[in-house]
Amino acid sequence: MQDLGLKPVMIVVLDGFADWETPLIAAVGGDFYGLSCRHVTPGGGDVRSMGGLAVTGLADAMPRADEIIVLCGSEAWTRPDAPDLSAMLRKAHAHGSTVAAICAGTLALARAGLLAGRAHTSNGLGFLRHWLPDYAEAAHYRDQPRAVADGGVITAPGTAPITFAAEVLRAAGLPQDRLDEFLALAGAELRP
C-alpha cells in the first residue's frame, strides 16, 4: 500500500445505519489506498445497523481539520428527533471540507442549506419533498442513479454506494488512474 497523501474521512452513522452504503469507502479506501477513515456518531456511544451489526464505543461526531464528512443513510435522519448537524456541516464546508451524504443522509445536508444552488441527488425528488416540505431546490435536483458532486457537496441515492465511494475517494485526492481501478474492481460483476 502506497501513501497517496489522501485527506482523511469521518463517517457519521446513526442507529439503524445502512450497512451497505459506506463500507467501500472505509474498507477498500483504507486497505487498497491507505485512506484514514474513522466512524463516529452524534454524542458518541453505540449504534446498531439495519442488518443488526452492533458498533460500540464510537466517538462524538466532531470533525478534525481537513476531514471529509460522510453521512451514512439511516431512517433515523427522517425522524423528528434526528440530530441537527447543520452548524457543524456548514462550518466544515465553509472551511473547505467536502461534505457527503447518501440516502436519507441527504436530508441533513438539505436542512443545513448545503444543497441550495448545487446539483444534487437523493432517493428521489418525492423523497426530499415528503421529508422536507420547504424543500425548494427541485431545479438543481438530478434524477439519476449515480452520485453527484458539486461545490464540495456529494450526494447519492442509497442504491449508489459504488459511485458515492468513488466521489468521496476523488475528494480525498485519489488519482484518476486509481479511481478507474476502483470503479473497475467494484463494478466487475456487472460486466458480461
pLDDT in tens, 140-159: 999 999 999 999 999 999 99
Q: Is residue 1 part of a domain?
A: no
- Domain contains 191: no
Residue-level pLDDT at 3:
67
What is the number of structural domains in the chain?
1
| Distance from C-alpha of 178 to C-alpha of 11, rounded to nearest angstrom | 21
Domain extent, residue 98, equals 9-179
pLDDT at 1 over 60: no
CATH number, domain containing residue 103: 3.40.50.880
Cα angle 125-61-116, degrees, rounded to a multiple of 5: 30
> Domain for residue 186, yes or no?
no
2 inside domain: no
Is 65 contained in some domain? yes
Report pLDDT for 27: 93
Query: Is 61 domain-assigned?
Result: yes
Average pLDDT for residues 57-63, to the nearest whole number?
Answer: 97
Report the C-alpha gap between 42 and 45 in whole angstroms.
Answer: 8
What's the pTM value of the predicted model, to 2 decimals?
A: 0.96
The reply to whether 4 falls in a domain is no
Encode burial over 54-85: b for 16+ CB neighbours within 10 A, e otherwise. Answer: eeeebeebebeeebbbbbbbbebbeeeebbeb
Amino acid at 54: A
Does residue 56 sit within a domain?
Answer: yes
Residues 27 and 31: their CA atoms lie apart, in Å, by: 6
Q: For residue 62, is pLDDT > 70?
A: yes
At 45, list the grid cell.
456511544
Question: pLDDT tens for residues 2-54?
Answer: 667 899 999 999 999 999 999 999 999 999 999 999 999 999 999 999 999 99
